[in-house]
Structure 1
Amino acid sequence: MTSAPDTEPPAPIPSADELIARIDRYFPAVDGDFVRRAYDFAELMHRPQKRQSGEPYFAHVAAVAMILADLKMDVATVCTGLLHDTVEDTEATFEDLTREFSDEVSTLVNGVTKLGQMELRSKRTKQAENLQKLVVAISSDVRVLIVKLCDRLHNMRTLGHIPRAEKRERIARETLEIYAPLARRIGINRVCVELEDLAFKHINPAAYESITRRLHDLRQTHAEEVSNVSEAIVERLNASGIDSRIFGREKRPYSIWRKLERKGLTFEEIADIYAFRLIVTEPDECYTALGVIHQSWRCVPERFRDFISVPKPNNYRSLHTTVIGPNSVRVELQIRTEGMEAVAESGVAAHWRYKDKSYSYDEEAAAEAGGDPLERLRPFVEILNQGGDPDEFLEHAKLEMFADQVYAFTPKGDLIALPTGATPLDFAYAVHTELGHHTEGAKVNGRERPLRTPLRNGDVVQIIKGGTRKPPKGWENLTITGRARAAIRRLVRESEREEFLRIGRIMADHAFRREGRTLIEEDLEEALSRMEFGTVEELYESMGRGRVTSNDLLDAVFPGRLDDREDVTDRALIEDEKARLYVRGRGLTEGITLHFAECCSPLPGDRIVGLLQPDRGVEVHTIFCERLAQFEEISGDRWVDLAWTPEAEANAVSIARIKAIMHNNTGALADIARTVGENRGNIAQVKTLSRTADFFDMEFDIEVFDARHLANLLAAIRMCDSVVSAERFGADATEDDVR
C-alpha cells in the first residue's frame, strides 16, 4: 500500500548566486563564472519542460546541484548535477558540454546519462542488468554514483507528485534495495537515512505514520529528560578539562522498523531510540571522555564498541557505549571528533577538500581517516567479473549490501571485514578467489574448526590449502557473502559443464527413443537454427541445466508433431520441469520427483535442503526443520543441496503459517486482517487454537511471496496493539536467516 500524492507546494528554485555562495563556503577560489554558465545552459535547455508537480524541470537539476554543494563536492561534480539530464532529455550533446565546459564535466555527465534508465521495471532481470551497468560506471569514478544518489534523493523528496501509486511504490522499492545501501556502502549516511525514510514512507505508510506519531509523543515526554542528561555529561567533561559539544540523536523511523522486524521487539522494548553524540577535538580525547563517563556512570558491557581502533569498512570511526546515566536513565553515547563526524555523515564525500589552490579528492586525508572508502565498491566489480546471469548478480550484490559486519584477522594481522555470520570459507574468498578455490580446512584462533563455523569479532583465521579446484558438494551453503557464492558458482559452472552435457545427451536420446526414432546429431542442424543455438553442445548443456525441455527439442526437430499420449512418464516429466522453475540443485536429475515438505513449508528466501526418500522422490525442507533431526544418521548421498531459482523469488506465491498470541479485545482479528492486507498479504485460513478470558492463540495461513515478505508481515503484525507475539510456525529460525 502506498501513500497519497503530496500536496505541499514546490520549493523555490535556488538562484545561481545562491549556488555559488554555497560552494564559496568551503571553496573560496570557486570559479563563479564557470558555475553560472552551467546554470544558465541547463536552464535554457530545460526551459520548455515541466515536472509532474507543474514546476519547471530545471528546478530538479538546480536542487540536485545544491545537494551536491551541501556535500561539499568539487565544482565539476556540482556542475554535473546541473547538467546531468541535458543530453538525455534535451537537444544538447556531449560535444556541446566538452566545448562549453570541460572534458571532465562531459565525462561525468556521460557516466550519469548511461544510468538514466535505472528505474525499476516490472521484470526483475531488467533491474539486475541496470545494476550491472551501475557497477561498471561507478568503478571508474565514484562521483558518478554520488551525483546519481543526489538525483535520486531529490526525486524521492518529490515522489508524492507522481499520480500512479504503483509507480511510486516501484521507485521507492528500488531506492530501498539499491540506492540507499550503495549510499551506506560509501559512507554517505546523511543521504542513506533520508532515502530509507522517504522510501519507507511510500512502501508502508501505515507503519511510517505509526512510528512517526510515537516518536513525536516520546519527544514531547522526554524533552526535559534529554536536556538534563546532556547537561550532566557536559558538566563532568568540563570538570575534566575536555572541550566538547553534545547533541541528541533520535533513531530514524526506518531504522526503528528494521529493529522491530529483525528482532521481533515491540516499540516500547527498543532501548536506543534516543542517543547522544559527543564531539571532542582530538582522537585521544575520545578515550579520555570515555573514561570520565565510565567512571561517572555504570556501563553496559555488551554495548561497548570501539570503531576507532577497528573502523568499519566505509571508514566509520567512533566509540559506542551505553551507560546507566543520571536518574537511572539508560543512555547510549557515540564519541568522536569533528573529522570522524564528517566521515560518518558524508563518507567518501568528506575527503574532497581545498588544497594548493584547488579543490579535489584528497587521497592522503582518506588514508589518514582509515583507508580508501572506494574499496567498499570493489566486491561488486569482483562479483560482476565472476560471470553468471544478471539475476544471479543481483542476488549476490544484495547479499553484499544488506549485512552487518564482523572483523577477523589473517595470521599476519591484516583486517578482513565480513558480514555477520560469515564463515572461514567466506574469509578465504575475501582474501583471494584462488585461495577460496583451494581451501581444504581452516584454523580459527589456532584450533582447526569446520568451514561452516560462524566467525566472531577478533578471530584470527588461518586457511589450510589443498591442491584441488573442484568444490565439494554443498560448498555454496557454507558461505553467506555474495563474493564467495559468485566465485563458487562460477567454479561449479566450469567443473559441471561436462556433466550437464552428458545429462543433456541422455535426455535428447531418451526423447528420440520415446518417439521411436534414433538420435543422429547431424539431423539436429535445422533444429539448432530454430532454437537459436550455435552448436549441439550448447543445446545439450541447456537441456542438462533444465533451460530446454525434451518436448522443446522434439518440437524443433519435428515441427507440427502431435503427441496426445499422456502416460505416467510424460506427466512426471511435466511435473519435474515445473518444479525446476522454483528449485535448483545438482542432485535433481531427470526422473526424480520433487515436492515441498508440509512440516516446514519452505518459502523462497529460506535456506533449503533436499532429502531423497525411497519411492517418493526429493522432499524440500528448510535447513532448520526439526524433522531433519530424524535423518542425521542416514547416508550422505540421500542429501541434495538445493537453492531457489530467480523465477521462484520473482513470481512464486506460497502459504506461510503464523502462530499469534493476542489480547481478547474487540476488533483484534479485524486489526490483523487490515494489517496483512496493507502489507500485500492475503489470509487464506484462520484457526483458533485456545482461548481464555484475556488471551487467545490463533493460527493464520497467509499467502506470501517469499521469506522476506513473511518477515515484513510478522513485523507489521507485532506492531498491532492487540498482538502479544507472532512467530512463523515450524521454521522460526529462518526469519533472521533471510536477512
Structure 2
Amino acid sequence: MPDEAQPLTAAKPESASAPAAKPAPHASDAKNDTRGPIEHAQSAPVEKAAEATRPKPSPTLDAGRAKGPASAERPVQPPVVRQPAVQPTRTGSSNRVRARLARLGVQRANPYNPVLEPLLRIVRSNDPKIENSTLRQIERAYQVAERWHRGQKRKSGDPYITHPLAVTTILAELGMDPATLMAGLLHDTVEDTEYGLDQLRRDFGDTVALLVDGVTKLDKVKFGEAAQAETVRKMVVAMAKDPRVLVIKLADRLHNMRTMRYLKREKQEKKARETLEIYAPLAHRLGMNTIKWELEDLAFAILYPKMYDEIVRLVAERAPKRDEYLAIVTDEVQADLRAARIKATVTGRPKHYYSVYQKMIVRGRDFAEIYDLVGIRVLVDTVRDCYAALGTVHARWNPVPGRFKDYIAMPKFNMYQSLHTTVIGPNGKPVELQIRTFDMHRRAEYGIAAHWKYKQEAVAGASKVRTDVPKASGKDKDAINDMAWLRQLLDWQKETEDPGEFLESLRFDLSRNEVFVFTPKGDVIALPAGATPVDFAYAVHTEVGHRTIGARVNGRLVPLESTLDNGDLVEVFTSKAAGAGPSRDWLGFVKSPRARNKIRAWFSKERRDEAIEQGKDAIVRAMRKQNLPIQRILTGDSLVTLAHEMRYSDISALYAAIGEGHVSAQNIVQKLVQALGGEEAATEEIDEAVPPSRTRSRKRRSSADPGVVVKGVDDVWVKLARCCTPVPGDPIIGFVTRGSGVSVHRSDCVNVESLSREPERILDVEWAPTQSSVFLVAIQVEALDRSRLLSDVTRVLSDQHVNILSAAVQTSRDRVATSRFTFEMGDPKHLGHVLKAVRGVEGVYDVYRVTSGRSRS
C-alpha cells in the first residue's frame, strides 16, 4: 500500500498521441510535478543549496565582467599574472566580497522567501498579471503563521508550518484567490496559538478573518456516532456565509489524509471513515471531483488495505494491454477530428481504485469487465464543437442504444456538463466517451473552486486582493449558474428537519439515477429516478407541493403516484382551500428527499401545535380543580424550572408531552404545588401585592445571600440585577430602588447610564461572598440545530449542579440554534467548568457568558 497518494494537478490533460509539447514555463512545472505540497515546500531550500555548491567563476573573471564593455577591449593578461588570483591563500577578502555580492544577487533575483517559491509559482501561473503587493501579502501571511507555529511539531516530526503551507499549495492548485490562500496559511493560528481573531482581522482584513473563523468553528464541532450529520450541516451553514470556508476545510482534510500514516491505526480508520462518509460525498456535491477521487482512494487504502493492494496489482498487470488499445482508439478519434477541422484534445480517462472497488462490490461485476472498458475524454473549445465531435465519433463507430446522455443541455445537480456516449470501438469492444469544453472540464474537476478561477481570470491584473465577488466580464452566465447552484444547496439543507435525514440526502447520488422533466413554461426539473408528480410539485415550490390535488402528464390526467419519465411535460393542480395540506399516503411513494422532508415537517408541525394547545388546556383544567391562580403560575418561572427538571427542552415541549398523553396534567400540577411549598405557600409565593418587609428581607438573605455589602450600611436588602447578572470579580455599583432595597449592577451595564441621572441614589458596594451566596449567570449557546439539543444542554447544566431559572431559544434560517440560559450558581469560579462541559455537547460550537444583552463579556 503506498504511503502517500499523488497530489492534485491543475494542468489540462494532454492527448495520448499528441506530439510532445515544449517545456512549459515554471508554472506548469509545479502543476505536473509528482511531489506533494510538503515536498514542494521542503525542496526549495535543498535546490538552492545545490546551486550554491556549483563551481563559481574566478574573481578575476567576475571583475572583468563587472567592468563592462570597455574592459573587454583590454589585452588579455598573461597566465603568469592571472595564476596567483586563484590561489586559496589570497582569496579571503575576495571571498567575503563575492559572498556578499552573491547574496545581494539572489535577493534581487528572488525577493520572496524561497520556501514559498513553489506556491508562488503556481499563483503566478493562475494569474500572470498578479501584482507584487498581493504576493507580499501572501508572504506576510506565511511569516505570521510561521512565527506563531514556531516550535510546534506534527506527528511526523515535521515543523507544523509545513501543514498550512501544503494546504495552501492545494488551494493554489485549485486556482483559489489570494484571500483564500492567506486564510489557508493562517487557518490553524486562531485555534492552536495565542494569535486572536481580532488581531488577524486588523492584520489581514475582514474577509480573511471570516474565512479563518469559519474553518475554526468547523473544527470545534466534535465527531461522534451521532454527530456526523450535524457536522455536515454545520459545513453547509458555514458555506452559506462564504463557500471558500468549505474549500479550505476540504484541502485541510486532503493533506491530513496524505500524511495519515503517522497516526495510530485506530485513529487512521476513524478519520478515513469520516472522509468516506462526509468529506468525499460533500466534495462530490460541490463538483470537486479531483478532491473527491483522491479522498476516496486514500480512505480506501486505509480501511481496506488488502483489497486496495489487490486492485492496485490487477491494474498494474492489465495496464500495458489497456494502454495499447487506448492509444489505437485515441489515434483514430484524433484523426477523424482533424479531418473535420475540429481542434480538440483527446486523453484517456483514469480509473480510480475506489471506483473500481465500488463497481465490483455494489454492482457485482468482474474486474476484467470493469477495467477493460476503455474511456476517453474529448475536450474542445465551444459547445458547437461538442456536438460536431459527437457526430464525428458516431460516424465512425455505432453507438450503443440507450447510452447517450446530454448533460450540456440538462446539467446535473452539481452543474456538471458533458456529452456521454458509448460506442462499439475497434475489435468490437465498447468505448465510453465524454465530450465537453475546457471550461466544462475545469468545472467538472474543480467544481465550486472553478468559480474563483473564473473570477481571477476575469479580473486578472487587479491591484489588490479580491475579497468578494466582482461582476464577471464575459463569464456572467457561469457565475450566475454557480451561485444558483449554491442557493440550491442551501435550500436543500434548510428543508431537512432531521440531521440523519440530511446526511441521507447528502448521500443521495443524483448523478447515477435521475430523470429530467419539463414545467408548462419549458423549464427543466431534475428529479431522482422513479419520481412522481408529487416530487415534481415540491421541486417547484413547497406550497405547491402541500396544496397538490392532481396532475397532468403530457396532457393526460394521471394518479399522483405515477412514475415520471425523461422528457415528460408535467402540470399539477392545487387547492385554494385554507386548510389544504399533504396526505400521509404520499410518504409511501415519493422519491426525493425534499418532498419526504417537507411532508414530514408539515405533519410534525401540525401535530405538535395541536398537542401544545391540548396540553395547555389540560393544565388549566387541573389548576381550576384545586382553585389555584392560573395566570400567575403559568407566567412565573416555576413551570420553566419544572420543565427542565423533567428533561424537557422548554415549556412548549412539556405542553406537547401532556397533550400527547406522555405526562399527566394532574401530576404536573401536583409537582408544581410541591415545588412552591404546598397550596397555601403557592398562593403566598405568587402574591405580588405584598411589599418586601424586613422579615421577608431577612428570610431571602438567609436563603440566598447575594454576597455583596453596602459600604457604611448594615441590614439592608441587597439583590443582584438580572439585566447584567454580576458575579464576584465584576466591577459593580449599587442603586437604591423604591421598596426593593439596593440593586447591584455591573459598572458597564447598559442601564447604568440612565441610573446615573440620579447620583444621590448611587451607592458604593463591594463583594463579600459567603458559602451561602448565590449568583445569577447568563450564558449563550450557539449550536447546530438537531432534535433533543436543548434537552442535552440542560442535562449537562443540571449535572454541573446549577439551578436553571429560564431558557430561551431561537433557530435561524441557517438552522443554527441560539439558546440563552439564566441559572443560579454558588461559586463563580465554577463557571469555566460549566462552559467547558456545555462545549462538549454534540453540535455545540460556541458558548460564552452574556451580560446586559451584549454578545460577550
**What is the TM-score with the length of structure 2 in the denominator?**
0.58
- Contact preservation (8 Å) 1:315, 1:369: no
Map of 2:353 onto structure 1: 253
Aligned pairs, number:
551
Q: Does 1:13 align with 2:41?
A: yes
- Structure having the higher strand fraction is 1
Give the distance between the partners of 2:591 and 2:220, measured in 1 at CA. Answer: 31
Map of 1:465 onto structure 2: 574
* Amino acid in structure 2 at the alignment position of 1:475: W
Matches within 5 A, 1:101-180: 101-118=204-221, 120-121=223-224, 123-124=225-226, 126-165=227-266, 167-180=267-280
* Amino acid in structure 2 at the alignment position of 1:196: E
Q: Does 1:342 align with 2:342?
A: no
Map of 2:155 onto structure 1: 52
Pairing partner for 1:541 from 656, 661, 675: 656
- Contact preservation (8 Å) 2:40, 2:118: no
* Amino acid in structure 1 at the alignment position of 2:39: A
1:372 aligns to what SS in structure 2? helix
- Contact preservation (8 Å) 1:315, 1:371: no
Map of 1:41 onto structure 2: 144
- Contact preservation (8 Å) 1:249, 1:276: yes
Give the distance between the partners of 1:423 and 1:414, measured in 2 at CA. Answer: 17
The worse-fitting range, judged by mean Cα deviation, of 374-383 and 343-352 is 374-383
Pairing partner for 1:213 from 298, 313, 316: 313
Give the distance between the partners of 1:313 and 1:399, measured in 2 at CA. Answer: 11
Map of 2:15 onto structure 1: none
**Distance change in 2, residues 1:42/1:315 (3 Å):** same
- Contact preservation (8 Å) 1:504, 1:542: yes
**Distance change in 2, residues 1:129/1:555 (3 Å):** farther
Instruction: Tell me how far 1:312 sits from its aligned partner.
Output: 1.9
Map of 2:557 onto structure 1: 448
Map of 1:633 onto structure 2: none
Instruction: Tell me how far 1:412 sits from its aligned partner.
Output: 0.2
* Amino acid in structure 2 at the alignment position of 1:190: T
- Contact preservation (8 Å) 1:42, 1:83: yes
Instruction: Tell me how far 1:51 sits from its aligned partner.
Output: 1.3
Q: Does 1:61 align with 2:61?
A: no
- Contact preservation (8 Å) 2:421, 2:434: yes
Residue-by-residue CA offset, 1:389-411 (whole Å, 9 max, x unaligned): 54454444444788743222211
The worse-fitting range, judged by mean Cα deviation, of 388-397 and 300-309 is 388-397
The worse-fitting range, judged by mean Cα deviation, of 356-365 and 34-43 is 356-365
Residue-by-residue CA offset, 1:18-50 (whole Å, 9 max, x unaligned): 211210112121422111111111111111211
Map of 1:531 onto structure 2: 646
* Amino acid in structure 2 at the alignment position of 1:312: K
1:194 aligns to what SS in structure 2? helix
**Distance change in 2, residues 1:328/1:157 (3 Å):** same
Give the distance between the partners of 2:311 and 2:787, measured in 1 at CA. Answer: 33
**Distance change in 2, residues 1:334/1:385 (3 Å):** closer
* Amino acid in structure 2 at the alignment position of 1:409: F
Q: Percent identity?
A: 40
Matches within 5 A, 1:347-496: 347-351=447-451, 352=453, 353-356=456-459, 357-358=461-462, 363=472, 367-369=476-478, 371-386=480-495, 388-399=497-508, 404-466=513-575, 467=577, 468-496=579-607
Instruction: Tell me how far 1:505 sits from its aligned partner.
Output: 9.8
Instruction: Tell me how far 1:374 sits from its aligned partner.
Output: 3.7
Residue-by-residue CA offset, 1:155-192 (whole Å, 9 max, x unaligned): 11112221142x32222222222222222222211111
1:298 aligns to what SS in structure 2? coil
- Contact preservation (8 Å) 1:398, 1:482: no
Instruction: Tell me how far 1:456 sits from its aligned partner.
Output: 2.5
Residue-by-residue CA offset, 1:368-394 (whole Å, 9 max, x unaligned): 348522433434533554474544544
2:347 aligns to what SS in structure 1? strand
- Contact preservation (8 Å) 2:200, 2:209: yes
The worse-fitting range, judged by mean Cα deviation, of 351-360 and 71-80 is 351-360
5+ residue gaps, structure 2: 7-35, 43-114, 675-785, 789-857
**Distance change in 2, residues 1:387/1:262 (3 Å):** closer
Give the distance between the partners of 1:244 and 1:535, measured in 2 at CA. Answer: 64
Give the distance between the partners of 1:273 and 1:519, measured in 2 at CA. Answer: 82
Residue-by-residue CA offset, 1:449-488 (whole Å, 9 max, x unaligned): 2323333222221111113433212323332333222222
**Distance change in 2, residues 1:536/1:56 (3 Å):** closer
- Contact preservation (8 Å) 1:433, 1:487: yes
1:333 aligns to what SS in structure 2? strand
Pairing partner for 1:97 from 182, 192, 200: 200
**Distance change in 2, residues 1:6/1:183 (3 Å):** closer
Instruction: Tell me how far 1:323 sits from its aligned partner.
Output: 1.0
* Amino acid in structure 1 at the alignment position of 2:274: E
- Contact preservation (8 Å) 2:551, 2:557: yes
Pairing partner for 1:79 from 149, 163, 182: 182
Residue-by-residue CA offset, 1:87-138 (whole Å, 9 max, x unaligned): 01111112222222222211211121111134522x31x2233333222210
* Amino acid in structure 2 at the alignment position of 1:99: R
**Distance change in 2, residues 1:534/1:204 (3 Å):** closer
1:173 aligns to what SS in structure 2? helix
Give the distance between the partners of 2:669 and 2:358, measured in 1 at CA. Answer: 51
- Contact preservation (8 Å) 2:413, 2:510: no
* Amino acid in structure 2 at the alignment position of 1:11: E
* Amino acid in structure 1 at the alignment position of 2:442: A
* Amino acid in structure 1 at the alignment position of 2:386: C
- Contact preservation (8 Å) 2:424, 2:430: yes
Q: CA RMSD in A?
A: 3.8
Map of 2:107 onto structure 1: none
2:157 aligns to what SS in structure 1? coil
The worse-fitting range, judged by mean Cα deviation, of 68-77 and 357-366 is 357-366
Instruction: Tell me how far 1:6 sits from its aligned partner.
Output: 7.2
* Amino acid in structure 2 at the alignment position of 1:339: D
Instruction: Tell me how far 1:532 sits from its aligned partner.
Output: 4.3
Pairing partner for 2:427 from 327, 331, 341: 327
Give the distance between the partners of 2:246 and 2:292, measured in 1 at CA. Answer: 13
**Distance change in 2, residues 1:22/1:285 (3 Å):** same
Give the distance between the partners of 2:260 and 2:604, measured in 1 at CA. Answer: 42
From the CA coordinates, give the structure whose radius of gyration is larger: 2
* Amino acid in structure 2 at the alignment position of 1:13: A
Instruction: Tell me how far 1:343 sits from its aligned partner.
Output: 1.4
Map of 1:729 onto structure 2: none
- Contact preservation (8 Å) 2:297, 2:354: yes
1:299 aligns to what SS in structure 2? coil
1:251 aligns to what SS in structure 2? coil
The worse-fitting range, judged by mean Cα deviation, of 548-557 and 32-41 is 548-557
1:463 aligns to what SS in structure 2? strand
**What is the TM-score with the length of structure 1 in the denominator?**
0.67
- Contact preservation (8 Å) 1:35, 1:75: yes
2:368 aligns to what SS in structure 1? helix
Matches within 5 A, 1:679-718: none
**Distance change in 2, residues 1:393/1:198 (3 Å):** same
Instruction: Tell me how far 1:213 sits from its aligned partner.
Output: 2.4
Map of 1:223 onto structure 2: 323
- Contact preservation (8 Å) 1:397, 1:482: no
Map of 1:308 onto structure 2: 408
Map of 1:642 onto structure 2: none
